[in-house]
Structure 1
Amino acid sequence: MEFKVKYFKDYVPFHVDDCHHPIELNPKECPKVESEAAEVRRALANPIDTPRLCEIVKPGEKIVIVASDVTRPSPSWVILPCVLEELGKAGVKDEDVTVVFGLGSHRSQTEEEKKRLAGEEVYSRVKCIDSDPDNCEHMGTCKNGTSVDIFKPVAEADRIILTGNVEYHYFAGYSGGMKAIMPGVSSREAIQSNHKNMIRPGAYAGNLEGNPVREDIEEVYDFLPVDFIVNVALDDHKQVAFAAAGDRILAHREACKFLDSIYKIKIDKPADVVIVSTGGYPKDINLYQAQKSIDNAKHAVREGGIMVVAASCKEGYGSDVFGRWIQDYDTPDDRIKAIHEHFELGGHKSAALALVQKKCDIYLVTDMEDSLVTKANMTPFHDLQTAVDAALDKMGKDASVYVIPIGGSTLPME
Structure 2
Amino acid sequence: GWPRVRVFNHSWDDPASLSTVGEISAEEAFQLTDGRINHRVPVRLNRKVTEYDHIIACGPVFPHEVAGFSGGTKYLFPGIAGPEIIDFTHWLGALVTNLGTIGIVDTPVRRVIDRAAAMVRTPLTCLTLAIHGSDLHGLWLGEPDVAFREAARLSAQLNVVRLPQPVRSVLSMPSERYDDLWTAAKAMYKTEAVVADGGEVIIYAPFLKEVSFTHGRLLDQVGYHVSEYFLKQWDRYASVPGTILAHSTHVKGTGTFDAASGIERPRIEVTLATGIPEERCRRINLGYRDPATIQPEDWEGHDDRLLVKHAGEQLYRLAGR
TM-score normalised over the length of structure 2: 0.77
Counterpart residue identity of residue 235, structure 1: H
Q: What pairs with 1:169-248 in structure 2 (closer than 5 Å)? A: 169-201=64-96, 204-209=101-106, 211-225=107-121, 226-237=123-134, 240-248=136-144
> Partner of 2:288 in structure 1?
379
> Partner of 2:151 in structure 1?
255
Q: What pairs with 1:41-56 in structure 2 (closer than 5 Å)? A: none
Sequence identity of aligned pairs in percent? 18
The answer to whether structure 1 residue 125 and structure 2 residue 125 are counterparts is no
The answer to whether structure 1 residue 289 and structure 2 residue 183 are counterparts is yes
Q: What pairs with 1:41-120 in structure 2 (closer than 5 Å)? A: none
The answer to whether structure 1 residue 137 and structure 2 residue 35 are counterparts is no
The 8 Å contact of residues 131 and 158 in structure 2, kept in 1 or not, is answered as no
Distance 1:330 1:158 in 2: 43
1:287/1:129 CA distance change after superposition, 3 Å: closer
The 8 Å contact of residues 273 and 307 in structure 1, kept in 2 or not, is answered as yes
> Partner of 1:368 in structure 2?
276
The 8 Å contact of residues 172 and 201 in structure 2, kept in 1 or not, is answered as yes
The answer to whether structure 1 residue 406 and structure 2 residue 302 are counterparts is no
Counterpart residue identity of residue 314, structure 1: L
The 8 Å contact of residues 273 and 399 in structure 1, kept in 2 or not, is answered as no
Distance 1:351 1:201 in 2: 11
Distance 2:183 2:61 in 1: 17
Q: Equivalent residue of 2:102, what SS? A: coil
How many corresponding residue pairs?
283
Where does the alignment leave 5 or more consecutive residues of structure 1 unmatched? 1-120, 393-397
- The alpha carbon displacement at 1:412 in A equals 1.3
- The alpha carbon displacement at 1:383 in A equals 2.6
The answer to whether structure 1 residue 326 and structure 2 residue 220 are counterparts is yes
- The alpha carbon displacement at 1:319 in A equals 3.2
> Partner of 2:263 in structure 1?
none
- The alpha carbon displacement at 1:146 in A equals 2.9
Distance 1:408 1:336 in 2: 28
1:316/1:230 CA distance change after superposition, 3 Å: same
RMSD: 2.9
Counterpart residue identity of residue 10, structure 2: S
- The alpha carbon displacement at 1:294 in A equals 0.7
- The alpha carbon displacement at 1:331 in A equals 5.6
Counterpart residue identity of residue 163, structure 1: C
- The alpha carbon displacement at 1:230 in A equals 0.5
- The alpha carbon displacement at 1:411 in A equals 0.7
> Partner of 2:247 in structure 1?
349
Counterpart residue identity of residue 187, structure 1: G
- The alpha carbon displacement at 1:281 in A equals 0.6
Indicate the structure (1 or 2) with the bigger Cα radius of gyration: 1
Distance 1:263 1:192 in 2: 27
The 8 Å contact of residues 300 and 412 in structure 1, kept in 2 or not, is answered as yes
Distance 2:294 2:9 in 1: 45
Counterpart residue identity of residue 324, structure 1: L
1:336/1:232 CA distance change after superposition, 3 Å: farther
- The alpha carbon displacement at 1:322 in A equals 4.1
Counterpart residue identity of residue 133, structure 2: D
The 8 Å contact of residues 336 and 354 in structure 1, kept in 2 or not, is answered as no
**Larger RCO: 1 or 2 (CA < 8 Å, sep 6+):** 1
Summarize deviations over 1:201-244 as a string: whole Å, max 9, x none: 265211122x111111111232115331102234324x544322
Q: Equivalent residue of 1:182, what SS? A: coil
Distance 1:331 1:196 in 2: 13
> Partner of 1:24 in structure 2?
none
